[in-house]
Amino acid sequence: MALRTDPHGSCTCRVVRDEGLSEFQFDAGRLQELLDGERFFWLDLRRPSLDELHSLGETFGFHPLALEDTHKFGQRPKLEDYDDFAFLVVYGYAPDEDGLVEVHCFYSERYLVTVRRDEAPAFTDLHREYVAGRTTTEDPILLLHRVIDALVDSFFPVLEQFDGRLDVIEEEIFRGQQDVLLQEILVMKRRLATLRKVIAPQRDLFGRMIGGVDELRGMTQEAGRYFRDIYDHLIRLTDMIETHRDLTTSLVDVYMSTASNRMNAVMKQLAVIATIFLPLTFIGGFFGQNFGWLVEHVDSGWAFVVFGLGTQMLAIILLLGLFKRRGWF
């Protein structure tokens, strides 16, 4: 359920409240009406322009430093507490080139504002639940938990696909060497490194949060249990990434070893052929000399067969017997 952006840069806003989900084009007046209301709401914006972000900040009274981070995506997962709101940066899965969606969250007990540039499949199911009335925004901190939990859990299907694909690649490597397999392994390794750069800091962030180092406004003992569950999921994700990184490194080593073994087999075959022709070259060169005995006695067909072809065939048979005895083929 992607948010649309019109040709003039005005983004579509989705608002989630107890009565359901609504959608409208960005308008500062509508935002002010939301703030003037008494009910908690979740406002989701995708790809707002700089002017719209500035208008958003003025309407909600966001701190300039928080808005500066939102102007420049590519932030590290973090939690910053301001006078009347908390600012969080969290990541989830997105079906694009880098596989990441960066979500900036402005959270208070009156609202949750999420700003993003990419599609967030994790939000699709959440929006559908609110449309169907299966969940509410009654508890702000639990809504924030649901948003972050959906983003974190969106990584699991991706890593499970990695796991299955790595098993297939391993089997294909042993069946036959293909350059495309090595390229795919390296691409997967880079994607895992990208995931690790955001998931590991995100894990540390929630570790500090549940440990009381970083305080999140509105956190209760009951809500802390839910956020500990997010921390547990992030630990599992980190373990999966490390395991998959080890597997990709091992697959590269297996690929190189397989290629080396095949090269050794080719070199052994060439060595066998060269060894067979070595005595043949000697015999041919020997008979090619003008020795008197050879000129007098090798003067018929049977002599040529016995002394010429016969000695060469005997040399080949002896060499093949030696190779067979030593297990060279």
pLDDT at position 231 is 95
Residue 135 CB neighbour total at 10 angstroms: 14
Strand duo 41-46 + 111-116: pairing: parallel
The mean per-residue pLDDT over the stretch 217-244 comes to 90
Mean pLDDT is lowest, of 6-20, 263-277, 304-318, for: 6-20
Dist. CA 70–CA 108, nearest whole Å: 17
Helix (H) or strand (E) holding 93: strand 86-93
pLDDT score of 256: 72
Model confidence at 199, pLDDT cuts 50, 70, 90, reads very high
Name every residue whose Cβ is closer than 8 Å to that of residue 227 and which is 6 or more positions away in sequence: 145, 206, 209, 210, 216, 219
Distance CA 205, CA 77 (A): 7
Q: Which pLDDT score, from 0 to 100, does residue 292 have? A: 57
Residue 9, sorted as left (phi over 0), alpha (psi -120 to 50) or beta, turns out to be left
Does the structure show a pLDDT above 50 at 3? no
CA distance 61 to 55: 10
Give the model's pLDDT for residue 300: 65
Residue 156 has a pLDDT of: 93
Nearest to 50 by CA among 150, 117, 129, 132: 117
Residue 90 is predicted with a pLDDT of 96
Q: What is the pLDDT of residues 53-112, one digit of tens each?
A: 999 999 999 999 999 989 888 899 999 999 889 999 999 999 888 889 999 999 998 899
